[in-house]
């Protein structure tokens, strides 16, 4: 099911039921924002649906949402683009598979993180200079010299500004319009942030903006390390008290780590959906938590690799690799002692400590005084 | 099982195995702090055990911990004091049931909240002027003119300073030494806070201090309103995404409400155990969540009174009455629109809205801009 890096060109357009004729007469079509979604997948499709419901409704956006997808063959043998064309999402708005991005001024990135760099390389010189990007991509890498933010990668490769959208938003639940939230992290321009909020906001998907790109994006990655810790607590059957304590300590380390790396990161960001809410969702459900629970139940005798292979059909756990990457940063900078939870998660995952070490903090935690 | 307001006088003392003989020789016994625990119950007994493990170990405390209890007859027909005397907690330290508090300088209040005022009236003139109190009592009342803090009540009635200890600490889990945390909220004196931290801190019970009595104490009460909301989400089977969003919105309203009432309340308090961790524990387990779930499953057709009677053997839900009290404050001050979650919880509990209203925020939530 590995996606081929191949954009699909289908120059079809179809007339859609419009419900904004009134507004159309008030707005010059040439000034309306035009959106292209880059990527597909579960989250990409759901995000496209959210976006399209707003572009059809709001006069400041061009109705049509374009989608730039990887072609992939699904387990059923069908091609992704065929499925998209057949599903009811299709009815909502005009899908437009294409490689020409020059008329889009809002680019929504929602691909697997390992493809971002390659895609950006293909897009260089093909986009508008005044385009704004937003990354919905979770899973930035944390290298020894610091995190490699996806928003920074997009910004640097394409020479455009890039915001992020993160939060407690499981694609399948949003697809059936269950109430949830997200946070737009933006850098400087409040108007740009407002435009992104408008594009995604629906009555069941509440979007707020925080002027803190790095903080918002780091939340989306670091929470997976905490989810591993929460999974250990579940596997050890320590109860909700302990789990809540571990989640809180995790949130504290997420905040401290982000602020050490980027002094501009704000405390308030961790109260947003991208912070505390996404952490809760991920520590209640989610595959990181699930596999870590199995690891602890087996007393660490079966490796993460083995459990992943068995439970995730070849997918790798984000949390385990992020914990390892964060550990590298902490060692490199001499910060290990400041982050007992993060470092313990890695030491458990790599077999140096037993799962029960996750609650053995008596000598590691800083006292309040 | 209603406890009679009757202090039990048992002037028995027993010699205990001491493990601090070394320290005893170093410290003048007259300068050591002497602790009395006022109250019993599950949490009182567990707290006494925590405390006693530290008074025996630390030279700055008098070994003996005294306990001032309500006598009550348990469902088994036994008297509470007989049970305490029989249990293994007894072995840990010297229980001392008494009415004389004049030599105690650290008073730990851990009674049901409705008895605090009556107890304080009995203690007036019987305590040391330099005594310090700490309240572990959850469930302050919120009156129309504002919350009636238990710490303030104790302070005013007895003319002594009162700190608070709150957090994600379910007595039964702490009793079996599962890892958890708590927050000491103190007013001005850092040394006093440190003494309380020392008294409670164990390797499995991590205590930190926050200079914010009101913030810490309000967390302990307001979280129950959010737990009702979380229970509705569970009953409606909305999934973890939605539950996380509701918990976050609840945390936000807890913070906003506390800060409007007490401008001294700090944002950082809500990152402490008393804030986010206690909220998580209460929204995952807890009876408020449980009964609210049943209410939503029944589509609001069976009243809270009925469900409480059936599920809680005569106990009343804190969250429902707190929601009603908070609603009074919000109406009285014209703040209803600022607190859509708090007000909706009350409107659902009182039958004005269906349970599904808990996620119908589209028109109520303030947009980010």
What pLDDT, on the 0 to 100 scale, is given for residue B62? 92
- B160-170 burial, b for 16+ CB within 10 Å, e for fewer? bbbbbbbbbbb
pLDDT for the residue B92: 40
The reply to whether B146 and B235 lie within a common domain is: no
Task: Name which of A116, A365, A127 is nearest A256 in CA terms.
Answer: A365
pLDDT for A94 beyond 80 = no
Q: How confident is the model at residue B70 (pLDDT cuts 50, 70, 90)?
A: low
pLDDT tens sequence across B157-196: 999 999 999 998 778 888 888 999 999 999 999 999 999 9
Task: Point out the least confidently predicted range of A255-269, B100-114, B242-256.
Answer: B100-114
Task: Count CB atoms within 10 A of the CB of residue A5.
Answer: 12
**Would you tell me which residues 170-189 of chain A have a C-beta closer than 8 angstroms to some C-beta of chain B?**
170, 173-174, 178-181, 184
How large is the angle between the packed helices B340-349 and B213-235, nearest 10 degrees?
A: 60
Identify whether residues A192 and A231 lie together within a single domain: no
The mean per-residue pLDDT over the stretch A267-285 comes to 96
- What are the distances in angstroms from CA B368 to CA A164, A189, A269? 15, 14, 13
The sign of the torsion formed by the CA atoms of B74, B75, B76, B77 equals positive
d(CA B38, CA B55): 16
- Say yes or no: A303 and A219 in one domain: yes
Any domain includes B354: yes
Q: What's the CATH code of the domain at B247? A: 1.10.1040.10
Alpha-carbon distance B6 to nearest alpha carbon in chain A (angstroms): 33
Domain-located, residue A367:
no
Residue A78 lies in a domain: yes
A334: exposed, middle or buried (Cβ count in 10 Å: 0-12, 13-18, 19+)? exposed
Q: What local confidence, expressed as pLDDT, does residue A35 receive?
A: 94
CB contact under 8 A, B277 and A361: no
What mean pLDDT do residues A75-84 have?
Answer: 71
**Residue A237 neighbours by CB under 8 Å, 6+ apart:** none
- Encode pLDDT of B76-131 as tens digits: 777 766 766 665 444 444 444 455 678 899 999 998 888 898 889 988 988 999 99
pLDDT at B157: 95
Burial class (CB in 10 A: 0-12, 13-18, 19+), B227: buried
**Is residue A143 scored above 90 in pLDDT?**
no
Domain boundary among A211, A245, A267: A211
Among B174, B248, B369, beta carbon nearest to A273:
B248
Helix (H, G, I), strand (E, B) or coil at B6: strand
Query: Kind and range of the H or E element at B138?
Result: none
- Using an 8 Å CB-CB cutoff, list chain A residues near B206: 245, 361-362, 365
Q: Is residue B202 part of a domain?
A: yes
Which residue of B179, B185, B258 is the best one to mutate when testing the A interface, meaning the one whose CB has the most A CBs within 10 A?
Answer: B179
Same domain, B206 and B314: no
Q: Tell me if A368 is assigned to some domain.
A: no
Report which of B122, B355, B111 is spatially closest to residue B234, judged by C-alpha positions.
Answer: B355
**What pLDDT, on a 0 to 100 scale, did the predictor assign at position B29?**
54
Residues B214, A282: Cα–Cα separation, whole Å: 31
d(CA A310, CA A103): 45
Q: How many Å lie between the alpha carbon of B13 and the closest alpha carbon of chain A?
A: 33
- Domain shared by B63 and B118, yes or no: yes
State whether A105 and A126 are in the same domain: yes
Give the H or E element holding residue A41: helix A41-57
Q: Are residues A148 and A130 in contact, defined by beta-carbon separation less than 8 angstroms?
A: no
Residues 6+ apart with CB under 8 A from A134: A106, A107, A108, A109, A162, A163, A164, A165, A184, A196
Domain stops at, among B211, B226, B241 = B211
Helix (H) or strand (E) run with residue B358 in it: none
Is the residue at B364 inside a domain?
A: no
Write the residue in A180, A208, A209 that is nearest to B241 by C-beta. A180
Question: Considering A211, A230, A257, which residue would you say is the last residue of a domain?
Answer: A211
Residue B225: Cβ-neighbour burial (10 angstroms; 0-12, 13-18, 19+): buried
Same domain for A244 and A203: no
Q: Count how many domains chain A has.
A: 2
Q: Which domain holds residue A117?
A: 4-211
Task: Tell me what pLDDT residue A93 has.
Answer: 42
Tokens matching residue A88? 């009811």
Find the mean pLDDT for residues B142-150: 82
pLDDT computed for residue B79 by the predictor: 72
Other Cβ atoms less than 10 A from the Cβ of A369: the count is 11
In a domain, A71, yes or no: yes
Q: Which residue of B has its CA nearest to A369?
A: B194
Decide if A16 touches B, using CB distance below 8 A: no
Q: To the nearest whole percent, how much of chain B has pLDDT over 90?
A: 60
B349 in Cβ contact with B320 (< 8 Å)? yes
Contact (CB, 8 A) for B309 and B253: no
Q: B261 and B137 in one domain?
A: no
Q: What percent of chain A has pLDDT above 70?
A: 82
Q: B15 lies in a domain? A: yes
**Closest of A151, A36, A54 to residue A98, by C-alpha:** A36
What lies within 8 Å, CB to CB, of B304 at 6+ separation is B291, B295, B317, B320, B349
What is the average pLDDT across B216-232?
Answer: 96
Left if phi > 0, otherwise alpha if psi is -120 to 50, otherwise beta: which for B256?
Answer: alpha
Phi, psi of A81 (to 5 degrees): -65, -35
Task: Please check whether residues A10 and A107 belong to one and the same domain.
Answer: yes
The yes-or-no answer on residue B290 being catalytic is: no
Helix (H, G, I), strand (E, B) or coil at A5: strand
pLDDT class of B30 with cuts at 50, 70, 90: low
Tell whether B206 and B243 lie within a shared domain.
Answer: no
Q: In this structure, are B203 and B229 located in the same domain?
A: no
Q: Determine whether the interchain pair A248/B277 forms a contact, defined as Cβ–Cβ distance below 8 Å.
A: yes
Question: If you ran DSSP here, which 8-state letter would residue A149 be given?
Answer: -
Enumerate the residues of chain A whose CB falls inside 8 A of the CB of residue B174: 241
How do beta strands B70-71 and B141-143 pair? unpaired
Q: Which range among A278-292, A337-351, B60-74 shows the weakest confidence by mean pLDDT? A: B60-74
CA neighbours closer than 13 Å in the CB half-sphere of residue B302:
14
Query: What DSSP character marks residue B367?
Result: P
For the stretch A31-67, pLDDT in tens is: 799 999 998 778 888 899 899 999 999 999 998 888 8
* pLDDT for B85: 64
Quick one: pLDDT at residue A3? 30
The Cα–Cα gap between B188 and B190 comes to 6
> Average pLDDT over chain B, rounded to whole?
84
- Average pLDDT of chain A is 83
A194 and A59 in a common domain: yes
Residue A306 and residue A351: Cα distance in Å, rounded?
13
pLDDT at B16: 31
- The arithmetic mean of pLDDT across residues A272-291, rounded, is 95
- Report which of residues A23 and A325 the model is more confident about: A325
Among B270, B285, B276, CA closest to B230: B285
| E strands present in chain A | 4-7, 33-38, 61-68, 70-71, 106-109, 132-135, 141-143, 146-148, 161-166, 180-185, 205-210
Q: What is the CATH number of the domain that holds B16?
A: 3.40.50.720
- Which carries the bigger pLDDT value, residue B135 or residue B25? B135
Name the closest residue on chain B to residue A283, using Cα atoms. B240
CA gap A133, A107 in Å, rounded: 5
């Amino acid at each position: 099911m590995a996606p081929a890096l191949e954009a699909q060109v289908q120059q079809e357009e179809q007339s859609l039921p419009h419900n904004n004729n009134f507004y159309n007469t008030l707005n010059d079509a040439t000034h309306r924002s035009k959106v292209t979604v880059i990527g597909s997948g579960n989250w990409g499709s759901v995000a496209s649906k959210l976006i399209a419901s707003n572009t059809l409704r709001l006069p400041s956006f061009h109705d049509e949402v374009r989608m730039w997808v990887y072609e992939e063959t699904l387990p059923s043998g069908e091609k992704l683009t065929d499925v998209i064309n057949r599903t009811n999402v299709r009815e909502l708005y005009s899908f437009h598979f294409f490689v020409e991005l020059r008329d889009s001024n809002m680019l929504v990135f929602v691909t697997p993180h390992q493809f971002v760099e390659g895609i950006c390389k293909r897009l260089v010189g093909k986009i508008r200079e005044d385009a704004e990007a937003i990354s919905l991509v979770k899973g930035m890498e944390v290298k020894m010299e610091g995190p490699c933010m996806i928003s920074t990668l997009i910004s640097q490769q394409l020479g455009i500004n890039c915001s992020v959208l993160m939060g407690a938003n499981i694609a399948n639940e949003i697809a059936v319009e269950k109430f949830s939230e997200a946070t737009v992290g933006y850098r400087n321009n409040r108007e740009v942030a407002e435009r992104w909020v408008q594009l995604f906001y629906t009555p069941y998907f509440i979007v707020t903006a925080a002027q803190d790109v790095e903080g918002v994006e780091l939340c989306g990655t670091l929470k997976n390390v905490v989810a591993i810790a929460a999974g250990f607590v579940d596997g050890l059957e320590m109860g909700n008290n302990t789990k809540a304590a571990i989640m809180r300590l995790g949130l504290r380390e997420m905040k401290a780590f982000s602020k050490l790396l980027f002094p501009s990161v704000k405390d308030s960001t961790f109260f947003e959906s991208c912070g505390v809410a996404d952490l809760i969702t991920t520590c209640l459900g989610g595959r990181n938590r699930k596999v870590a629970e199995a690891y602890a139940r087996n007393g660490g005798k079966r490796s993460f690799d083995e459990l992943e292979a068995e439970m995730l059909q070849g997918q790798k756990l984000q949390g385990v690799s992020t914990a390892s990457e964060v550990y590298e940063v902490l060692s490199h900078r001499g910060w290990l002692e400041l982050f007992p939870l993060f470092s313990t998660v890695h030491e458990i995952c790599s077999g140096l400590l037993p799962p029960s070490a996750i609650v053995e903090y008596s000598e590691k935690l800083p006292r309040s005084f």
